[in-house]
Amino acid sequence: MSKTAQLHFDGKVYELPIVEGVENEKALDISKLRAETGLITLDPGFKNTGSTTSSITFLDGEKGILRYRGYSIEDLTEKSSFLEVAYLLIYNELPSNDKLESFKQLITEHTLVHEDMKKIFDGFPASAHPMGVMSSLVSSLAAFYPESLDPNINSKVIDLNIIRLIAKMPTLAAWSYKNEMGHPVNYPDNSLGYAANFLKMMFSLPTEEYEVNAVAANALDKLLILHADHEQNCSAATVRVVGSSEATLYASIAAGINALWGRLHGGANQAVIEMLEMIKADGGNVEKYIKKAKDKNDSFRLMGFGHRVYKNFDPRARIIKRHCDDVLSSFGIKDQTLEIAKKLEEVALSDEYFVERKLYPNVDFYSGIIYKALGIPTEMFTVMFALGRLPGWIAQWKELREHGQPISRPRQIYTGETLRSYNK
């Protein structure tokens, strides 16, 4: 007989089923709780709430484990490519060589965006943050592919829209940067790989020759893999919530981009560099900022430290730290912000406040440093995260549909005024 837990309430005993995952994670199934007991659960920030079962990503925050479809993040970063990982996340299995080639081919065939999209770009002021531009553009893709609006869309059309999104995201991302710079946009170069094509669209200027640096393209590909999925994080949960209303793939992904934007989520990579620059401008006094981060009356937090689920170390941070050192030494970069980052890491890791609360550097602490070394401007960092996270969001959206999950609709405990009469 499967396990249950007992709830004693108002003199009655209720049996609540226990659901077990393949890695021995256990959950209390409360789907009938309200109907049977009148109770709901209260869990602000969903710290203890499993919103779904999922077979995409396994993560053990205590042990520092991250796996996509059963493959360790360490193996995938070392042996795979971003597009292969994207295929794995979306279609459950690593592709055969032939399947991977045709997947890549399809993606290169769809890298162009409709010329009319330029009119949308024209409407944005140069001051527009590229994340806002990206989410608007991804949303507007639904207008160009209206067949995606059909909630009963068949899997072939879904696959085509998935290909379109993966293919066009780098073009839109690079164009949002060009828009900010006021420079002419570059069209995709389909002779290049995914990361290399993106770098060329970002940095190539009509006035000079541009050759993609292989170390940079490789580092970027690895970074995209590291960010490709992270189970039910804020943006993935957002994609699922929006997708659960049968909104289009494009609208759901646009919502994910917006959720990622905030500095407590994907925006942390931008916030890390801004914090390091601020400390540098303030004379490099690391101790002062450690003190500020510990002060409850000061809203300052060490950006790039702490994680909702990793409480010992972030496995992505370990991998990325190695790449960070490689990139910086191969580019011969000696950067004072990097020195500050190293010092900050050293001091925080031995400080009681951080040790007690298990606050370790997360992936974004190092990713910002690599992006900076690759010449990517700070305000584009979160866009880079979005490029990487795209296959994960798509996989979450697809799984939600395949599971036929009901519309997301949490409850609340009301704490406002009770009925009052309208007498002004």
Catalytic residue set: 307, 364
- Tell me which stretch binds ligand CMC (CB under 6 A): 119-127, 140-148, 241-249, 258-266: 258-266
Pairing, β 4-9 against β 12-20: antiparallel
Q: Which of residues 121 and 310 has its CB atom nearest to ligand CMC in the complex?
A: 310
Q: Which of residues 183 and 308 has its CB atom nearest to ligand CMC in the complex?
A: 308
Please identify which residue in 67, 69, 222, 307 interacts with ligand CMC, judged by CB under 6 A: 307
Residues in CB range of 340: below 8 A, 6 or more apart: 276, 279, 280, 284, 286
Please identify which residue in 58, 68, 289, 305 interacts with ligand CMC, judged by CB under 6 A: 305
Please report, for residues 120, 139, 372, 417, the alpha-carbon distance to residue 116 in angstroms, rounded to integers and kept in the order given.
7, 14, 32, 50
Helix (H, G, I), strand (E, B) or coil at 408: coil
Residue least distant from ligand CMC (Cβ)? 306
Please identify which residue in 280, 291, 301, 311 interacts with ligand CMC, judged by CB under 6 A: 301
What is the per-residue DSSP string for 331-399?
A: TT---HHHHHHHHHHHHHHH-HHHHHTT--B-HHHHHHHHHHHTT--GGGHHHHHHHHHHHHHHHHHHH
Q: Which of residues 196 and 370 has its CB atom nearest to ligand CMC in the complex?
A: 370
The residue to which tokens 């869990």 are assigned: 43
What is the per-residue DSSP string for 20-84?
A: E-TTS-EEE--TTHHHHHS-----GGGTT------SSEEEETTTTEEEETTEEHHHHHHH--HHH
Q: Based on the shown chain and the rule CB under 6 A, indicate whether residue 304 belongs to the binding site for ligand CMC.
A: yes
Q: How far is the CB of 261 from ligand CMC (least distance, A)?
A: 11
- One-letter amino acid for residue 376 of the chain: I
Q: How far is the CB of 42 from ligand CMC (least distance, A)?
A: 16
Binding to ligand CMC (CB under 6 A): which residues in 365-394? none
Please identify which residue in 230, 323, 372, 389 interacts with ligand CMC, judged by CB under 6 A: 230
Q: Which of residues 217 and 340 has its CB atom nearest to ligand CMC in the complex?
A: 340
Q: How far is the CB of 400 from ligand CMC (least distance, A)?
A: 20
Strand partners, 4: 17
- Tell me which stretch binds ligand CMC (CB under 6 A): 143-151, 238-246, 251-259, 298-306: 298-306
Q: Based on the shown chain and the rule CB under 6 A, indicate whether residue 233 belongs to the binding site for ligand CMC.
A: yes
Q: In the structure encoding, which two tokens stand for residue 399, read together?
A: 């799984």
Please identify which residue in 157, 264, 278, 355 interacts with ligand CMC, judged by CB under 6 A: 264
Q: Based on the shown chain and the rule CB under 6 A, indicate whether residue 308 belongs to the binding site for ligand CMC.
A: yes
Strand partners, 19: 27
Instruction: Look at residues 158, 185, 129 and name the one whose alpha carbon lies nearest to residue 383.
Output: 129
Interface residues with ligand CMC (CB under 6 A) are: 230, 233, 264-266, 268, 293, 301-308, 357, 359, 362-364
